[in-house]
Structure 1
Amino acid sequence: MQEFMIDNGIVIDDIEGVMEGIAKLSGKQMPSPQTIKRFITNEKSTKFYIDDKCSCKMQPDRDTVYLWLDSGFTSSYGDPIMISLLNKGAGGYTGHFYGTMDSLAGSIGNFFPQNRRNITKNLGSLRIKYDNKISGRDHAHINDEQEYLIKTSNEASANTVMADLIKGLDITFPEVEVEPEPEIVQEVAKEEPGILMSKLEEEITIGLLLDKMEEREAYIDELLSIIERLNTENKLTKEKMQELEVKNTEYKRAFVELRANMPEHSEENKSESIGENIGHDLLGKKGRILVLGAASLDEKTMNGIAKQYGFERRDFVYETDYEKVKSMAGRVSYGERFSAIILGACPHKVSMLGDYSSFVEKCKNDENLPDTYETRTNSGELKLTKESFRKALEAMMKDLMEKRQEVLS
């Protein structure tokens, strides 16, 4: 195993294994260790000191057990990939573990099973702290390694000593008068027709343009989600938020029109292309789905199933901790906005239950709650499995499509 030093006292003891793991999680080519080192040492808030309860601090203290380094890369589901090093004492950290926050927190729970409840609680706080901290970075993540290296190199070169000296010289050059050359009258040749691109070349060119537009659209959606969170914290005016949302809606409408004029998106193929993202499109720009209740599936599996119906990862909010459901259930009525709720196994008694005998009954009868879909097995048990999750998604999509038709008619 080859060691690689990130900073004084901070060492990855199996750099090749870590780079291969990051490539596998991110779905990208294996990155250079120097790129990750540059990101960790140059960007803000890339070091997170973690104790045995997954509580995070930005500076080490006597309770620190792990050091999580933000690699700069994200998983295929958009989660940051962290490198976990173990506290070796005297300010030194060494190791080679890597993964998302969820997987690393799970590993802490395996070593300290008595702290699992606190680990789950603190993991939610850590995600919020992480999102707030990275908002001050020049580059939140590395979406493209080569592009990141070029940008950071250009930024560094703009501040070199030579650049500062040249600016300080304040050199001005006299304007040189150039006498106009005598106009030469030439016989106007017959204009030859330009060489036109073939239909295949046109399709390839437009396809590349669409790919870039899709990347830009995803980036704008990410920014809007951050802005929406800041808006809930009263850090952004409601009017400004609405203005940004209107602009993003106009951008998406233009993108849809462009795709509609592509040969592969002609009328005869329209039904197939619409189906690719139909789930996400049916939710609307603010709609989200709350998955509430204990589940026998992990979030990655549920996201994979939902993707088959055209949903995106950001369309879902998961709360599958049985104890947290008790407080989360009451907040649904008055807090975050959801288009629908998918129910797994829930406690009968939750907060703000009112006159209802159970939360399931409240979801069925309370008009203030979104449409609710229970994940029932063939035996009628309320249990979130692959099959029951698919059935709930299918029923929800059917209702959403009917509502869309009512609006359009």
Structure 2
Amino acid sequence: MMREFVIENGIVIDDMDSVIDGIRTISGKEISDAETIRKFITEEKATKYYIDKKCTGKMQPDRDTVYLWLDSGYVDHNGNSIMISLLNNNFGGYTGHYFGTMDVLANAIKSYFPKNTRDINRNLSSLKNKYQNKIADRNHRHIDNEQEYLIMMCNGESGYSELESLINRLNIKFDDPIEEVQEIQPEVEAPEEHEPAYDMSFTEKEITVGLLFDTIDDMQDYINELLAELKKAGEDKAKLQELEKRNKDLEQALVEIRSFNGQHNTEPSEVKELTDGHDLLGRRGKILVLGATALDVKTMNGIAKLYGFKKDDFEYEVDYDKVVNFAGRSKLEKYSAVILGACPHKVQNLGDWSSLVEKCKNTEGMPIAIDARSRSGELKVTKESFREALLQICNELKCK
């Protein structure tokens, strides 16, 4: 029996269970509750697109509207947004349960209106560009992890941002202001104290701080490039020397911030003991992350930095479809370690091995092979499983 699910007045998904199952399959994400999708559609910006038979997309319906595409919040393995398509019921509402990427939905329109194929192709390209521009203003572009998304939404509703919550917990005390300034300050009633929506775990803190450091490093690289270009252009030498001095001061400040963070980081002990990943790796080769992941590369680099690794210590092959041909065109022996995410069972040139995972773990001369598994046992690179994999790699490298 099909289960109807009301997104809002006049917008109904008439078989929500099949929609959720389908999105789980093509996204590889866990979805425990239909309310997550409803919350995303109703509370994020630019989630509704009214489509006519030529695939022209508008933000409001008109007399030519045939379909309503709802952004589910999830993306497929290639990063394409998964939309839910509902049909205009001619009574001012929209009902249905069809879903897929924009390309899949556009192909369905072509099958009903084949004479409009050229217009559909042109308008689809325009719609994709409009979509990317619109979602830039969202608080959360997509749902990477259902639980984390719902927590962040709760934080937003309670008036706390993640960064604000993190800063509040650092307990950094500044020197008292100059007495003369204190004397002229008007008395202000102390603001009412609020309990934070939740206590940020150490894992969340370390990932957030790691990503901040990663961003600062990228900015520092950019500054160095600009200074180099200014030198080539023959700019005023005195001005360049002043800029270089300020740049060195900034670099020193970053070193001191890192030192402060390390001295005040009290848990867990195994992370403190393993902050020399790059040195352990040495010249043995890089770490390969192979298979589809639930994280983007920047997040993984941020986590790895907490274990002392550098961005250049890693190579990523996270396109699920490309992994099929990977074993045939790459020598895994050149890597020091391999972290295995979601991999297809059938890949080329495996010989007698039943899977790439089995080959890595049982062939002599192969690199350290770590299964990145979620708590449920699923082969999946998550924040937790990636941390555990790095920890295990560090321990094994120490023993070599």
> What range describes the TM-score normalised by the shorter chain of this pair?
0.3 to 0.5
Structure of higher CA gyration radius: 1
Tell me which of the two structures has the higher relative contact order, counting C-alpha pairs closer than 8 angstroms and 6 or more residues apart.
Answer: 2
